């Protein structure tokens, strides 16, 4: 959102209505552009971004419903809030617009205080969604750039190989790790049973069960410190013998990011509700 209250596009074929609404919004520090019809509105949206659109339903050539349908092919409601302006009183018409992706509506003649409250509410929600999206993207970057420790073991769970990332994450040099039992070496006691049972079930039935999918566990570093990790075990038969590759991902940063995300979401939701209540009462 820009340095002012936000950028708005007012779409109405009635010049008096759109200019009057635009002037009142500009006095509230919004940056406002106007369009006399649906096609002009779509052209403006191709040239520049807006924080929200106020869209009249009844327009010649291209109705507000047609514009709404077109915009929703490109923009999700959280990306571009659209508030319909309608003189219709039939609830099914309003419901139809909402079902097509409109965020809210105001009726003509416009009660400016109500319209302003609804604009502010939608912009606050968009700001919250944008912040959450940015946090999600940062969290995803952490996940995507994380490297796995890769450990191979035999049917007894004995380590047969150990990559450099395993050395870095777990702390055991490769030479000291080979020959040790994987579950005893890198998995905290409370998470060991699931791995052992998964290997036994696979060898007995041939069914992957917990294998081939990531499972959150509590892992163990060489110095005894515990940390959250994802474990996936993949079986393979080499020269008639089963071997298992374990992929261990340290998710300490991801868990911390998820906690930040959760707290941010709770705080943003609280702020949105507070603003909505304040503006509705104003």
Residues with Cβ within 8 Å of residue 153, at least 6 apart in sequence: 159, 160, 182, 243, 244, 246
Residue 86 confidence class, pLDDT cut points 50, 70, 90: confident
147-250 fold: Beta-Lactamase (3.30.450)
Q: Does the pLDDT of residue 278 top 70, yes or no?
A: no
Report the C-alpha gap between 157 and 180 in whole angstroms. Answer: 8
The residue ranges of DSSP E strands in the chain, in sequence order, are 6-11, 30-35, 52-56, 82-86, 104-107, 148-153, 159-162, 215-220, 226-238, 241-250
Q: What is the pLDDT of residue 276?
A: 66
Domains 6-110 and 147-250 share a fold: no
List strands edge to edge, sheet with 226-238: 159-162, 148-153, 241-250, 226-238, 215-220
Q: Does this model's pTM top 0.85?
A: no
- CATH architecture of the region 6-110: 3-Layer(aba) Sandwich (3.40)
Per mean pLDDT, which range of 5-9, 23-27, 64-68, 212-216 is the poorest? 212-216
Q: What is the pLDDT of residue 143?
A: 34
What average pLDDT does range 134-139 have in this prediction? 71
- pLDDT tens string 149-168: 888 889 888 999 888 888 88
Name the residue ranges covered by the structural domains of the chain: 6-110, 147-250
């Amino acid at each position: 959102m820009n340095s002012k209250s936000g950028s708005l596009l007012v779409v109405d074929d009635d010049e008096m209505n759109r200019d009057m609404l635009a002037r009142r919004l500009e006095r509230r520090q919004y940056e406002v552009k106007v369009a006399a019809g649906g096609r002009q509105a779509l052209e403006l949206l191709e040239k520049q971004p807006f924080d929200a659109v106020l869209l009249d339903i009844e327009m010649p050539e291209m109705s507000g419903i047609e514009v709404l349908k077109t915009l929703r092919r490109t923009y999700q409601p959280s990306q571009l809030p659209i508030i319909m302006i309608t003189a219709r009183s039939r609830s099914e018409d309003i419901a139809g617009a909402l079902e097509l992706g409109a965020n809210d509506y105001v009726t003509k003649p416009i009660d400016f205080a109500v319209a302003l409250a609804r604009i502010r509410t939608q912009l606050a929600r968009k700001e919250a969604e944008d912040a959450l999206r940015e946090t999600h993207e940062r969290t995803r970057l952490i996940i995507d750039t994380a490297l796995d420790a890769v450990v191979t073991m035999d049917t007894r769970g004995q380590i047969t190989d150990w990559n450099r990332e395993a050395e870095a994450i777990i702390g055991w040099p490769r030479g000291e790790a080979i020959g040790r039992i994987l579950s005893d070496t890198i998995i905290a006691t409370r998470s060991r049973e699931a791995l052992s049972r998964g290997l036994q079930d696979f060898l007995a039935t041939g069914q992957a069960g917990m294998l081939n999918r990531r499972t959150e566990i509590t892992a163990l570093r060489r110095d005894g410190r515990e940390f959250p990790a994802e474990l996936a075990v993949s079986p393979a038969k080499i020269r008639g013998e089963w071997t298992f590759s374990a992929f261990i991902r340290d998710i300490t940063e991801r868990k911390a990011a998820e906690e930040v995300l959760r707290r941010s979401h709770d705080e943003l939701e609280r702020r949105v509700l507070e603003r909505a209540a304040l503006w509705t009462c104003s």
